[in-house]
């Protein structure tokens, strides 16, 4: 294992301290590093709270700030945050309008957010579960589809809507609708290594890729020889579009997401491949987002996400955002 680190058991804490210091104008880190929250809350706004295992940075802490999340609870690497982290985040950022919990569909996350909601039962709360990964119907830690890079799309759109005073029930409805219009699929060119484990989560031959990989390195649909980028994009976009079944001429957002060890040059090459394929299938790519935003430690590879946008959700996507990782 080759990582910039001091010790596996202090790695997350040291990284969170660095993050909080570097972005002190936007966020603060709570006591015992239980959550990252906005430095300044907006009274009367519904609070958006997310979280999950660490190792996917900048998701979710990098999306805390104006126009997006109010708090993010970082679990240990690839491990759900504990209910008490989530309860403390709710208590810290709910200013009276209630809290919307945005949860990726993994058993541990769903269970711990549910337990937190029970414990914090005197707060008004609603939950949106994200399950945008079309690769497999069930996976190692999920009953049903996994929640992956599409999570950030839902967080951005809900963040803008909350900023514009949308209420809790409407936000939940919008979140579920956006999740239904958002589909993703990934491919790994290398495994990732969890610091505490010290060895790769899976093995991949020098000429192999894992098609449909999960963001913890969970198995996908198949392992094949590494193909050309166009063929990889064709398979991913084909699966996504078949599932979304959008009508001809619909406008969409294309998110090309790196898994942590993928150079910018390759990500933009995938943008170019995916946009041509989407256009050939009658979709209009109206918005783009490219970057290593929902990562898997040091895994190489990428995921593609397509979100169908209408005039309202396009406006929400375009609304200002100011977080450590997204800004416009």
| Residue 302, strand partner residues | 187, 258
Q: Does 191 bind a second copy (CB under 8 A)?
A: no
Query: Considering the complex, what minimum distance in angstroms separates the CB of residue 296 from a second copy?
Result: 9
CA–CA dist 319, 317 (Å, integer): 6
Q: How many residues touch a second copy (CB under 8 A)?
A: 60
**Contact track, a second copy, 257-296, x by CB under 8 A:** ---xxxxxxxxxxxxxx-x---------x--xxx-x--x-
Residue 56 among the catalytic residues: yes
For the segment 226-245, give every residue that binds a second copy (CB under 8 A): 226, 228-230, 232
Long-range contacts of residues 136-145, Cβ cutoff 8 Å, at least 24 apart: 136/212, 136/214, 136/219, 136/220, 136/221, 139/214, 139/218, 139/219, 140/214, 140/216, 140/218, 140/219, 141/106, 141/107, 141/108, 141/216, 141/218, 142/105, 142/106, 142/107, 143/107, 144/105, 145/105
- Greatest C-alpha distance within the chain: 55
Q: Does 8 bind a second copy (CB under 8 A)?
A: no
Which one of residues 17, 32, 118, 312 is an interface residue with a second copy (CB under 8 A)? 17
Cβ closest to a second copy, residue 166 vs residue 256? 256
**Contact track, a second copy, 44-83, x by CB under 8 A:** ----------xx-xx---x---------------------
Closest CA to 271 of 241, 237, 248, 244: 237
CA–CA dist 26, 276 (Å, integer): 37
Query: Considering the complex, what minimum distance in angstroms separates the CB of residue 52 from a second copy?
Result: 14
Query: Considering the complex, what minimum distance in angstroms separates the CB of residue 150 from a second copy?
Result: 18
Query: Considering the complex, what minimum distance in angstroms separates the CB of residue 114 from a second copy?
Result: 27
Burial category of 220 from C-beta neighbours within 10 Å (exposed 0-12, middle 13-18, buried 19 and up):
buried
Query: Considering the complex, what minimum distance in angstroms separates the CB of residue 238 from a second copy?
Result: 17
**Roughly what angle, to the nearest 10 degrees, separates helices 150-163 and 168-180?**
150
Q: Does 150 bind a second copy (CB under 8 A)?
A: no
Which one of residues 79, 172, 190, 313 is an interface residue with a second copy (CB under 8 A)? 190
Neighbours of 121 (CB within 10 A): 9
Q: Does 21 bind a second copy (CB under 8 A)?
A: yes
Contact set with a second copy (CB under 8 A): 2-7, 11-12, 14-19, 21-23, 54-55, 57-58, 62, 189-190, 206, 209, 226, 228-230, 232, 260-273, 275, 285, 288-290, 292, 295, 297-298, 300-302, 322, 327-328
């Amino acid at each position: 294992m080759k990582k910039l680190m001091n010790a596996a058991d202090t790695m997350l804490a040291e990284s969170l301290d660095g993050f909080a210091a570097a972005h002190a104008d936007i966020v603060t880190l709570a006591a015992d590093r239980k959550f990252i929250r906005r430095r300044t809350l907006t009274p009367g706004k519904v609070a958006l709270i997310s979280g999950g295992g660490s190792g996917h940075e900048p998701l979710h802490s990098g999306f805390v700030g104006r126009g997006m999340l109010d708090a993010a609870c970082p679990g240990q690497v690839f491990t759900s945050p504990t209910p008490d982290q989530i309860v403390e985040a709710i208590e810290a950022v709910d200013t009276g309008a209630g809290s919307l919990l945005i949860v990726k569909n993994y058993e541990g996350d769903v269970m711990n957010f549910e337990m937190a909601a029970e414990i914090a039962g005197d707060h008004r709360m609603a939950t949106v579960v994200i399950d945008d990964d079309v690769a497999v119907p069930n996976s190692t830690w999920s009953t049903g589809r996994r929640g992956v890079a599409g999570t950030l799309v839902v967080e951005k759109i809900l963040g803008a809507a909350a900023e514009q005073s949308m209420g809790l029930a409407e936000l939940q409805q919008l979140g579920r609708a956006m999740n239904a219009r958002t589909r993703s699929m990934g491919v790994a060119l290398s495994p990732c290594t969890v610091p505490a484990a010290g060895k790769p989560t899976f093995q991949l031959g020098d000429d192999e890729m894992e098609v449909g990989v999960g963001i913890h390195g969970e198995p996908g649909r198949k392992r094949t020889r590494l193909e050309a980028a166009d063929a990889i994009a064709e398979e991913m976009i084909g699966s996504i579009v078949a599932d979304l079944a959008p009508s001809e001429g619909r406008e969409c957002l294309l998110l090309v997401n790196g898994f942590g060890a993928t150079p910018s040059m390759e990500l933009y090459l995938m943008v170019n491949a995916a946009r041509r394929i989407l256009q050939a299938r009658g979709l209009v790519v109206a918005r783009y987002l490219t970057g290593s935003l929902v990562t898997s430690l040091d895994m190489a590879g990428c995921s593609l996400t397509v979100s169908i946008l209408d005039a309202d959700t396009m406006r929400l996507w375009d609304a200002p955002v100011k977080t450590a990782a997204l800004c416009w």
